[in-house]
Amino acid sequence: MSHSPIQIEVPDDDYWQRQISCQYACPVHTDARGYVRAIADGDFEKAYRIARGPNPLASICGRVCGAPCEAACRRGAVDEAISIRGLKRFVTERFGPESFTRETLKPIELLNRVIGAGARDCRGPEELVSFRNSLDPVDGRTGKGEQIAIIGSGPAGLAAAHDLALLGHRPTVFEMEPVPAGMLAFGIPEYRLPRDLIAAEVEVIRSLGVEFICNTQVGQDITFSEIREKFAATLVAVGAKRSRIIPIPGGDGPGILGGVEFLRDVALGDKTSSSSLSSLGERVVVIGGGNVAYDVSRSVVRQISYDVSRSALRQAGIREVHLCCLESVDEMPADDVEIIEGHEEGVLLHPSLGPVSIERNADGAVTGITFQRCLRVFDENKKFSPQFDKADTTFIPADTVVWAIGQRSDVSFIGPEDDIKMNDRGLIQCDMETLRTSASDVYLAGDLAYGPRLLIDAVASGKKVARSIHASLTGQTLRRRDEFVQINLPDYGRERDYEKLKREAIPAVSAEERRTSQTAVVERGYDELSAVTEASRCLDCGVNTIFDSEKCILCGGCADVCPELCLKLVSCDRLTGDDAFGALLQERYLGADLSEMSAIVKDEEKCIRCALCAERCPVGAISMERFGFSCQWSE
């Protein structure tokens, strides 16, 4: 009987880092496993220090991060991923800047506590302490470094300002809105991200000597050239603050809004704009399948409910909010929680529909939208290539249409005289390694550099460009040095029945309660018992089963006892791999008949780190060992 070949990978340091899948997936390399396990152990302050170490916006991410760590979480292959974002919020609420009052918040003390946290099992390259060893303690100094301009105070701009200040420079941030934080404050509804939390996070960055100049639009209140003349380097991090709109018949004229602009008007409480409730009409159709589309839809739901609850005179009409998107429900890019909570609040979802035309009456007012059925969104190569059934159409009545299909950046403040190269799509060109443009003093970060991505991606780009600007201005490149270690854990153990625990849902207020307010926060967050229980589900992927081939007698006892069947005793002639594996096999079994040789192979995706194999081994050939690493920056 023939058997399929088994692909083998010889473990190296990169392999062990990849096993900590949550940290490996995080753009700023947050040791999520580390803070989740600290919560499981009841050490909540340690958990906060680990979460904050690489991420200057940890508290904000605890509320609204897209959580690529959860998507990569190994526990998800067993049942459901660990609620990593919810657990981050749990500890930031207790020890982050939002846990203080304005009178008691001492940002410098908070940062010094993070820097002085001591050794960590898995300290990634973005750790605050990794490039502050020669500059501690943090003292909020303005420093003697260069003056650097940052245009835009969204996540990329804030992260860059934070790290540049830590590196001794003097950043000045220009923001067109009344308060810092850009799209964090004006593109994310307050029911998801409280404004006092944003202010507290920004205050820590301000305490490092960062200056914020708000209500200042570059190109109107100050020219780009004036900024470049005054500052040694300029970082453009304006984000994508303009909505994309598909040009279809009927698309021009009243009754058409952009989702990003709508959310800004709601955040500013602008009752005179076209986004005001009185202007929306009875039926609103939102086009898009992502989080912004749901933010818009749920904000409209709240406006409607608030008006109805406070008005004794009920206006005639149905008052409906429809969300229409190309994707099927399974393909929608919106977070599952957004889809579920939107449904609970009354958002009417219409998947697999593509807009054909916006219909208007004789007076030019919107009456509805005609859609056609979308048969597929992506082709066999996963490229965007929608196909439609033109014979299958749907008409949805509407008074207002809101586009939420994507965003674009506005860099109209940059002119030909600035001598900055653009590509054929009107986007600024930059070196993807240094993030420097064709002008040696101008850099990009966030959406401008990479296109729209997650919030945490913008943070990562801000930190990256900070190092690049520092290297350019000082002539001293920060060089990375990695150290790795394996630590034997003879007393390793796990919580009782940890593998049977189900994911703890993050408590939320009822749909009826949350519909009536734009500011009532939906998620209540975990209490201590729920947080510890949820954290106990973590498989602790930094711990590995290490096999000593010199001791192993190939009895198969480890495979027999494994509850997840992740260990197998197989014939060596079934094994295949890269050159490194081939060399290892040749060295071990030179000239031997591989069909007569046996080996133990392990499927890492299935392993739950229970240690039963180590306990079962009669010769002590299996040990439980923790992999640790430290990434240091030095000039």
Which residues of the chain are under the pLDDT cut of 70? 1-2, 116-119, 129-144, 270-278, 305-318
Residue range 153-186, pLDDT digits in tens: 999 999 999 999 988 899 999 999 999 998 899 9
What pLDDT is stored for residue 273 in this prediction? 57
Q: Is 335 helix (H, G, I), strand (E, B) or coil?
A: coil
Do 519 and 185 form a contact (C-beta atoms < 8 A)?
A: no
User: In angstroms, how far is the first alpha carbon of the chain from the final one?
Assistant: 60
Instruction: Show the tokens assigned to 430.
Output: 């930059």
Rounded to the nearest angstrom, the gap between the alpha carbon of residue 123 and the centroid of all alpha carbons in its chain is 19
Task: Write b or e for each residue in 79-104: b if 16 or more Cβ atoms lie within 10 A of its Cβ, otherwise e.
Answer: eebbbbbbbbbbbbbebbbbbbeeee
Q: In the prediction, which pLDDT does 314 show?
A: 42
Alpha helices in 134-252 (DSSP H): 155-166, 183-186, 195-206, 224-230
pLDDT of residue 467: 93
As given in the structure block, the two tokens for residue 162 are: 């934070």
pLDDT at 106: 80
Question: Residues spanned by CATH 3.50.50.60 within the chain?
Answer: 140-241+409-477, 245-403
Digit-coded pLDDT (tens) for 112-161: 778 766 667 888 888 876 655 544 444 444 456 899 999 999 999 999 99
Domain 140-241+409-477 CATH assignment equals 3.50.50.60: yes
> Taking a C-beta distance cutoff of 8 angstroms, is the pair 186, 179 a contact?
no
pLDDT given at position 134 = 40
Quick one: which of 552, 555, 559 has its CA closest to 607?
559
Q: Which two tokens stand for residue 472?
A: 């350019």
CA distance 32 to 22: 6
Q: What is the pLDDT of residue 614?
A: 96
Per CATH, domain 245-403 is 3.30.70.1520: no
CA atoms of 373 and 390, how far apart (whole Å): 7
String of b and e for 258-279 (b: at least 16 CB within 10 Å)?
bbbbbbbbbbeeeeeeebebee
Both structure tokens of 560: 């027999």
- For the whole prediction, is pTM greater than 0.85? yes
pLDDT at 167: 87
Digit-coded pLDDT (tens) for 83-99: 999 999 999 999 999 99
Q: Give the pLDDT confidence score for residue 274 in this predicted structure.
A: 54
Say if strands 170-174 and 575-577 run parallel, antiparallel, or are unpaired: unpaired
Containing 633, the helix (H) or strand (E) segment is strand 622-634
Helix orientation angle between 528-535 and 32-40, rounded to the nearest 10 degrees: 120
Q: How much is the pLDDT for 487?
A: 93
Q: What does the block give as tokens for 145?
A: 């470094």
The first and second tokens of residue 104, run together, are 């008691």
